[in-house]
Amino acid sequence: MDPVLPSRRLTSALDRLRAQGERVTPARRAVLQVLDSADQADEHLTAEQIGVRVADLEPTVHRATVYRTLTSLTDAGVLSHVHLGGTATVYHLVASEAEEREAAGGTDAGAAAYGHLHTHHAHVQCVGCGRVLDVPPEALEGVASRLQEELGFILDTSHAALLGRCADCS
Amino acid sequence: MDPVLPSRRLTSALDRLRAQGERVTPARRAVLQVLDSADQADEHLTAEQIGVRVADLEPTVHRATVYRTLTSLTDAGVLSHVHLGGTATVYHLVASEAEEREAAGGTDAGAAAYGHLHTHHAHVQCVGCGRVLDVPPEALEGVASRLQEELGFILDTSHAALLGRCADCS
DNA sequence: CTGCCTGCAAAGGATTTGCACTCAT
DNA sequence: ATGAGTGCAAATCCTTTGCAGGCAG
């Protein structure tokens, strides 16, 4: 539906960066823009894939810089990463708290539960086709509370993907 | 409790290997023995760590062979691997169906739920200390059935570790 | 201006591969 | 005896690092 235009999420991320005294450079702008577009298309990109797309946007940006940028932006809290089945790590823009609230409030949790989840969410990956599906964090509430009660373990539901086999690959 | 001696699990694994027409070599024996011991001590070893211990047992076994062995034994179904938080992959001996049944039957599920789980089980890893905790697969039943119903996704509860923070690191 | 961020190139570590040989069956 | 498995060494892959220069603030 929406064309890929500089979204509010992108602007917001840049603002938060600046607010922390971090510098906004072409490389960082490009990385954030790539991830913003990817998120809008529900894509999950690895560092390498991000590098390729950044090269389109800003050909002078070096690969090593992409890696360093992903690290520093993650430290700065505007990006998060998810570990997929063993190999890859994929990156996401992190929504501001305001955006997070807005998304939660404006949504019928049931109907939109598996729609476009542009905020905090969990991931499952198919071992057959590699596809990554987004899942609302509530789906893991059961395990989370059980682990907390029985082991004192605080589960981070969005940090690692669960593996399995999707409907198409069964 | 139990000393680390050639266990029934090990013998069984070798038998299943032979039954499939796979050859039993010193390298394979060593890899299986290392993993059997590790499992008994509730350790989770990476390919590299396995390599080190194999070198103690069979100094002539080459690193590359350990990698190839882990792959082929996994294909043969006597080993399984678990992807830990992003980086490492750790290996386990796979219990035979008979052993699996026996463990399930002979055990009070509640009391032993978090004890030594030498069969099929899930994993959670602490992002603080890196420790890996074993968790009975039932803990993930809730998510599993929800994913199946709503997405047709068959969750493999033992194939990837969930991340979070353990009691000591909170 | 100051030093954070970058480009470049080279190092790094883990895993994989080609090849010829050996040993389990 | 025969080919699955192996040892060896080199190649490959992705990621990180040291250093000097450049641009954001």
Chain A residues close to B85, C-beta within 8 Å: 83, 159-160
Beta carbons of B128 and B166 less than 8 angstroms apart = yes
Furthest-apart CA atoms within chain B: distance in Å: 52
Q: DSSP state, B21?
A: T
The residue type of B120 is H
pLDDT, residue A95, reads 84
Instruction: Kindly determine whether residue A162 and residue B143, on different chains, have CB atoms separated by under 8 Å.
Output: yes
- pLDDT averaged over chain B? 88
Identify the band that residue A109 occupies on the pLDDT scale cut at 50, 70 and 90. Answer: low
Chain B residues close to A89, C-beta within 8 Å: 86
Angle at CA of residue B43, ends B41 and B44, nearest 5°: 155
Candidates B162, B163, B169, B170: best to mutate against A (most CBs of A within 10 A) is B162
pLDDT, residue A111, reads 44
Cβ within 7 Å of nucleic strand D, residues: A 18, 23-26, 46-48, 63-64, 67-68, 71, 88-89; B 22-23, 25-28, 58, 60-62, 64-65, 68-69, 72
Name the interface residues of A facing B (CB cutoff 8 Å).
83, 85-87, 89, 114, 124, 126-127, 133, 135, 139-140, 142-143, 146-147, 150-157, 159-167, 170
Cα B32 to Cα B17, B26, B134, distances in angstroms = 11, 10, 20
- pLDDT averaged over chain A? 88
Residue A4 has pLDDT above 60, yes or no: no
Q: DSSP state, A27?
A: H
* Angle between helices B47-57 and B63-75 in degrees, nearest 10: 110
**Three-state secondary structure of A97-114:** HHHHHHHHHCCCCCCCCC
Candidates A82, A162, A163: best to mutate against B (most CBs of B within 10 A) is A162
pLDDT, residue A126, reads 92
Identify the band that residue B169 occupies on the pLDDT scale cut at 50, 70 and 90. Answer: very high
> Which is it for the CA torsion A44, A141, A165, B50, positive or negative?
positive
Could you report the per-residue pLDDT of B84-143, keeping only the tens digit for each?
876 789 999 998 878 777 777 665 554 455 656 667 889 999 988 888 999 999 999 999
Instruction: Kindly determine whether residue A160 and residue B86, on different chains, have CB atoms separated by under 8 Å.
Output: yes
Helices (H) and strands (E) in chain A, counts: 6, 7
Residue A14 has pLDDT above 70, yes or no: yes
pLDDT, residue B111, reads 44
